[in-house]
Structures are given as C-alpha cells and as structure tokens.
Structure 1
C-alpha cells in the first residue's frame, strides 16, 4: 500500500494541511524545525508525491517542452544535454519532441504539450510560425524561449547566435589565405540561423569585391549526406575552398573529396560551422566556427526558468558570440 500525506501527518503529529503545504513548497510560514520534521518523516516513510494531486495544488508540472527539428544532428543533441543538465539540477523534467523539420508535426507537438500542461517551452525550430506560437502559447499563458528567432512584435525571451558575423568570419578566413573562388553549402530549408551564415558569406564576398557564381552556391539538407551530394557538384566547379554552414555538411565534403582523390587542405580548403566534437577528430582536423552549443542549451533553460519564476519582467534578447577555430583543413593557396 502506498504511503500518503495522512501517514506523514500521523508520524509527525502535525495536520495534513501543514504536511501538504510543506511538501508542495508552500511551507515558508512554518518553522524550520517543523519543515525538517515533515521532510525527515517523508523520507523515512519513502513517501512519493501524487503527481496529479501535486499539479492541482502548485499549478505546475515541473516539466518543460522542447521542440527540435533533427535529433540526429549532433548540434541538437549537445544543446539538449545543456538544457537537460540545467533543468535536472533545478527539479524539472524535459519532454522532448523531434519534428524532423515537419511543420504539421511541430504544430501537433505544440498543441499536445500545451494540453499536457508543461510549464514552458524551448523552441529550436524556424518552421513554427510566429502567429502559431503567439496565439497558442500566449493564450494559454505559457512562457517560451525562442532559439535563433528574432523577437519582433511578440514579446518573448530569445537566444540569438550572431550567425551573420560567424559566416562573415568564416569566409574572410578563406579570403585572407588567398582564396577567391569560394563555394558555399547552405540549407535547403528555412533555418534562420543557417541562412544568416549564408548572408555573412555573401556580405564578405561583396565587401572584398569577389565574384559569386551561382554554381558555387549549393543548397542541401543539413546532414552529412547533404554535404556529400553538394560537394560532388562543387568539386566539378572551379573552387579552391568551401564554406560548409554546418560541421555535418563539412563531414560529407571529406567523403566526396576522398572519393575523387582531392586532398584537404592541399587541393581544397574547407571550413565548417558549429565546432561539434567530431570536428577535431576529422583527418585533417576541421577548421570551423565555434559556438558554445552546450552553453546555449543551458542558457535557454536558465532563461526559461527565470521567466517562469518572474513572469512580469521585460523580455530579453541574449546574443551569443562565435569565434574562429583554426585547425588543419585550411591553408594558404
């Protein structure tokens, strides 16, 4: 038979109401001695709170809904680790939804998570519309954090990576090495952050007065296979360097180059973006743009919990900077 609040109250000699309030985090008005007595008795009896009853009292489920577009992408798995570690330390659980970049699936998950009364959302997707987020989450009074989405007319906290600057720095690195014919592999979907990296590439090429041929611009899925397919075409074009707007894409370039006997970096300089763990283990190690992926996840979780606890504070944009990590996949032309 399961232990109830009544059993804890009987053991401690205090009222059921007192036990309930202390165990549900609302016992500040009671003395420290009483609180300690209740918690000690609960632990000794191995009392486990009734999840649904506790939810009725606190109006919280201690769960956070997280929506990502592709769990197979190492970037998102590293980010989720940062989110989960912070939430675990603060008594929250993660309900993770992997949308596979499917808008219908994302909308379904958003509605279902609201129905399950999660306390807040971390949304790392550019497919869900601003109107959908605003209408559904605001209507249900659900705080949320947007990753790599500009906060415009709707008030919400946002974690923004300076991807335009990162794309610019990646391209400029290749230019300073003497490269002029620089191919780029970007996303074929609506990813805002990856698009901004491409914007940085274009701006840098324009600032240096360099030509950008249409056949140097490849749009593929953000995956190793996407990088592989794009590189097969770029290696037939007159490029001496490639900027892959994610490390996943860059890894695909390694395979394509190897198959046709093109040596990196002797015959082709390659730079990626993200600095996932695998980047430093490639042969040669991949030059890339580092963004603190784990820390971004942790910051998103920390910001959301702060928002849940302080709902009246003004929304903020948190800008995350990137940096160039030079390894061995780029060299002077």
Structure 2
C-alpha cells in the first residue's frame, strides 16, 4: 500500500544543497582518501562500497556540513501485516509525521524474517529509498537470519526500528516500555485482590514478548511471588493462541489474566466462556495495544495502551535527521505506556 500527501515539497533550509558541487566533491574525496566516484556512490547510496569506506565518506560529508535533501524521497515501512489494527494505526501515525517533510511513505506488509522482506527493499532501493522503518518486523525476532538489514547496511541506507532492534548492529530504536507495561497490568490486578495472576505470552524469541515476560516475572517477584514461571504460558499473538493459553491458566485457578495483545485477550474471553466463567465476575482480563474496537466488545476490555503517537514523533525526528546526515543517538528510546481502564477487570472473587 503506497501513500503520500501529494503536497509541494517544503523549501530547503539555508545551507542545504540538493547536489554536491564538484569542488566540494573533491574535498570530500581527499578527506576520506577515496575517489570522487566513490563519494558520489555513497551520496546516492549505491552498491559496491565497503562499509569502512562508506563510513569514512559519511564522516567527511558531516565535516563539511553537507545534508542530503529531504524532498521527493521514499521511506519504506516493513510491518508484519495490516490486519492487526495496531500496525495499521502505527503506520498511519508515522506517515502523518513524515509527510510535512516531503517524504512519501510506502507500507510493505511482510512476514518477518522471510525473503519477501528483503525483496521489497531490494526492488525499491534504486527508486530512491531515503530510509527504512522496521515496524515490528524482523527486528523483533532474536534468532532469525537478518539478511535484510545486512543489505540495508551494505547500501548505507539509514534505518530505525520500532519495538526492538537488531543486536548485531548499532542503529536507533524506539519502543514501548514493555517492562513497564507488565508492571501496570500486574499492579492493577494485584490492587484488585488477585493473587493468582497469569500471563498469555507471545512466542519465545520474539523480543517484545520476551520483554513482557521479564516484566511480568519482575512484577510478581516484587510482590512476593517466588516462582511466577508456572503462570507464564507461551502462544501465538492471535485469538486462538490466547484461548489455548488462557485455558491452561484457568485450569490452574488464575483469577487475573494479563494478555500480551488485545487479540489474545479476546481469546481469554472465549476460554472463560467455555469454562463457564464470567468476565470480570470470575476472572479479570487485561489486554495490550488498545485496539480501536475495545469499547464495542462485551465487556469493554481494560488494556495497556501503546503510545503510538509519541513513538511516531520520535521515529519521524530520527528519520529526518538520519536522511540529512545529522547525528542521532543509538540508545533505545523507551516510551511510557498507559493503562486504559474499562470493564473487564473487577475485584477478585471472594475466597479466591
């Protein structure tokens, strides 16, 4: 799905050049100890330049104050799918933040870690890709072959990741604070008197899922639970995965359930219904994401909201800085989530 604002490109700031002059090209070549042709290839992000050479040229460009123009350039967003409302909303927010800078966004739904992810990037890079945004794509998978980012690095294309980065490379990352999200959910249920609290966790090796598990364990240990592990059940981030995991927790007597996605929380509703239990009278459920439909299900779902607007603001700031060759920090930015109270949580049943 390709989108863009269609507006006129913004005026350039003073000192920003659309092209680098021949005199300056020679200066950069001398400073980096390379040929002018190599400098040109780096500026235009062409292949065939060694990483160390590319870095030397980029440093020389920064020294002379050269900034690449922002207008008429593409930003590619790689996301697992657009069926999940949270990915669609996040992509829309990032697009809205980038459009005023004259950047056109292309959203590519891919299955993370597959050849299709790299195929999208390779097919678009020569069209003038200014930057890549990994929106919960292969950057969330710990043990996958990250060939796509290897290709992006080889071409010197700047990139930023959302909700997890690539451990083998230093690049900017903007994430929801999943440890804090787990603390908010557990703390809410604990304050309502629930002492048998379980987690519907995502698959092992998925970075956000693993972080939420770590946060869940820490939150229970702080409250005196010595062994939280039996109350962590791993499954897929979908309704059926949530139903299967919740069924296990309900058999163990859980009265409070923390889901790692709103879809998994919907699965917990189904598991409770099949077990003859009511939400929230018998079991309380907390979701994660804050999908737009939550006010329209019964009962409306209490959830931990991902701060997609603030994530998008940070991503746009980083992307525009990277494209202009301005320095940015590679320290991961953790954005604070918030608890949205609805009617799927209530005090623990008496005697629980």
What TM-score, normalized by structure 1, do the two folds share?
0.75
Per-residue deviation, 1:311: 3.5
Per-residue deviation, 1:173: 1.7
Correspondence 1:144 to 2:155: no
Give RMSD over aligned pairs: 3.1
Per-residue deviation, 1:163: 0.7
Q: Which runs of 5+ in 1 are unaligned?
A: 1-22, 30-56
The CA distance in 1 between the partners of 2:330 and 2:226, in whole Å, is 41
Give the corresponding residue for 2:285.
270
* CA 199–315 in structure 1, closer or farther in 2 if over 3 Å, else same: closer
The CA distance in 1 between the partners of 2:328 and 2:274, in whole Å, is 55
Correspondence 1:250 to 2:250: no
Matches within 5 A, 1:159-170: 159-170=174-185
Instruction: Count residues in correspondence.
Output: 286
Give the corresponding residue for 2:43.
none
Contact persistence 2:10–2:71 (CA under 8 A): no
* CA 158–28 in structure 1, closer or farther in 2 if over 3 Å, else same: closer
Per-residue deviation, 1:249: 1.0
Per-residue deviation, 1:223: 1.4
Give the corresponding residue for 1:224.
239
SS of the aligned residue for 1:160 comes to strand
Moved more, 161-170 or 207-216: 207-216
SS of the aligned residue for 1:277 comes to coil
Per-residue deviation, 1:154: 3.3
Give the corresponding residue for 2:117.
106
Correspondence 1:192 to 2:192: no
Moved more, 145-154 or 70-79: 145-154
Give the corresponding residue for 1:174.
189
Contact persistence 2:307–2:338 (CA under 8 A): no
The CA distance in 1 between the partners of 2:112 and 2:235, in whole Å, is 14
Give the corresponding residue for 2:141.
127
Counterpart of 1:202 (choices 209, 214, 217) is 217
Give the corresponding residue for 2:172.
157
SS of the aligned residue for 2:312 comes to helix
Q: Which runs of 5+ in 2 are unaligned?
A: 1-8, 16-67
What are the Cα deviations for residues 229-265 of structure 1, in whole angstroms up to 9, with x where unaligned? 3223333331111110111211221223223331111
Per-residue deviation, 1:199: 0.9
